[in-house]
Amino acid sequence: YILAHLRDVSKEEEFPEGENGDLMMAALHISRGIGVSGLERKLGRGKVVLDIVPEEGRRNVNLLTDEDWEEILDQSNVPEDKWDELIDCFRDWVDPNEEHRLNGAESDDPFYRDRGYECKNAPLDTVDELLLIKGFTPQIVYGGPSEVEGEPPYLGIARWLTVWGDGRVNVNTASREVLLTIPEIDEFAVDAIIEGRKGPDGEAGTRDDGFTSVDEVIAAAGLSREVAHRITVSSYKYLRVVSTGQVGDLAVIVWCVLEYQGDKVRVVFWREDTASKT
């Protein structure tokens, strides 16, 4: 229902009362590049909670510059002395040759020989694939304690990354943490973006939410024109749909990434998580 109305929904139209009205509001927000979360429906003895968020609110790991990587690793509390090795090992994993970077590792490195596989020499297909690359520990990828006692824990970089999209960040839906990984965007600019995307009424979840142009973002946040090529405001070609089914104290999460093009929708990724107690 929501996807079917993305092309024709308008903030000027009257929405029906009840559930369909909520769905139309969700369609309006997504059409403006804004994610929606917490759509809840009763189903038998349980309920289903649905989130639909443009995937462009994350950073495309395959298109990150070295400067992008440094911002992401810094944001995740990865010590600076690890950055060069992690970045070079990533580059060696995805580049089409076996030429070593200064701090990198190609297929002849003991790390890969001992594990019995070679560098992919191609872009990542999933963010989880980072775990195959030398230096990218589960703690760095998903979060966990630092190896150094007394140092802050790793926050995990996977939550901010994707393998879909053209590399521009949709500022209408990106989290504060993702916005802070964009070079040249500081905390003051992020505050202005988060406040500005609430719309003229200053209230999130209403019809006027979201910036309508990159120029509007730049003006509201006082950004340099150099940032324009890094951001977008309405991209929703890829949508992350997370459905959580709950019955009693059990929950099952199914999530997927959809490629949306006009009247065509294609599933590009699908995952089901096992039931767990809530």
pLDDT of 18: 67
- Reported as half-sphere exposure (CB side, CA atoms, 13 A), residue 231 has a value of 30
Q: Which burial class, exposed, middle or buried, applies to 102 when counting CB atoms under 10 A from its CB (0-12, 13-18, 19+)? A: exposed
pLDDT of 41: 87
CA dihedral 29, 31, 32, 36 (to 10 degrees): 30
pLDDT of 101: 96
CA pair distance 90, 133, nearest whole angstrom: 7
pLDDT of 71: 97
Amino acid at the residue 93? W
CA pair distance 192, 187, nearest whole angstrom: 9
Amino acid at the residue 68? D
Q: Answer for the pair 221, 196: CB distance below 8 angstroms, yes or no.
A: yes
- Alpha carbon separation from 143 to 111, 129, 140 (Å, rounded): 22, 15, 6
- Backbone torsion region of residue 116, taken as left when φ is above 0, otherwise alpha when ψ lies between -120 and 50, otherwise beta: left
CA pair distance 55, 71, nearest whole angstrom: 20
Q: What angle do CA 67, 71, 72 make, to 5 degrees?
A: 115
pLDDT of 278: 39
Could you tell me the mean pLDDT of each successive run of 10 residues in the chain, 278 residues long?
74 69 87 91 89 96 98 97 98 96 97 97 97 98 92 96 97 97 95 96 92 96 94 92 89 93 88 64
Q: Is 26 helix (H, G, I), strand (E, B) or coil?
A: helix
pLDDT of 211: 96
Q: Tokens for 120, please give them.
A: 């992919």
Q: Tokens for 193, please give them.
A: 């973006």
CA pair distance 187, 243, nearest whole angstrom: 32
pLDDT of 7: 72
Q: Which domains does the chain have, with CATH numbers?
A: 3-57+236-277 (3.30.1300), 77-156 (1.10.40.60), 175-228 (no CATH)
Which residues face 270 on adjacent strands? 256
Instruction: Write the DSSP symbol of residue 208.
Output: T
